[in-house]
Amino acid sequence: MRYRYSGLAHQGRGWPDALAPLRARLRALTGREPNGVLANLYRDGDDTMGWHRDNEPELGPTPWVLSYNLGANRDFAFRRHGEHRQCHALTLRHDDLLVMSPETQHHFEHALPRRRRVQAPRLNLTFREIMPR
């Protein structure tokens, strides 16, 4: 399965055995059926992700994103789509799961801002339902 992310096309390689129990747990917790996952490593608070919505065509018209966090605590910011001012932030901690609904993707952008005081790494796994082309 192919997925375009951050301007690049990625080709799926199947599910690593180590992720099978986590994928099953996410299904049980959320009722969602993720068939793809992206792994992003943020080495410290200088690694960031800019404002965006997860609205790629491959995610279909109602994209759900299940964001699972491992490692350092990081702030996660939201702003209304089309505005420039942050309206909400929450701290994602180790072993936290953030479930972003289609309404979240439609009405808000999100970002992982720079936090220089964070010296430890964070691994973020974002599970998605990718629509076959």
Domain that holds residue 122: 2-128
Q: In tens digits, what is the pLDDT along the chain, a chain of 133 residues? A: 666 666 777 677 788 899 999 999 999 999 999 999 989 999 999 999 999 999 888 899 999 999 999 999 999 999 999 999 999 999 999 999 999 999 999 999 999 999 999 999 999 999 999 987 6
b/e string for 115-131 if b means 16 or more Cβ within 10 A?
beebeeebebbbbbbbb
Split into its structural domains, the chain has a count of: 1
Continuous segment of H or E residues that includes residue 76: strand 74-80
CATH of the domain at 11: 2.60.120.590
Tell me if 133 is assigned to some domain. Answer: no
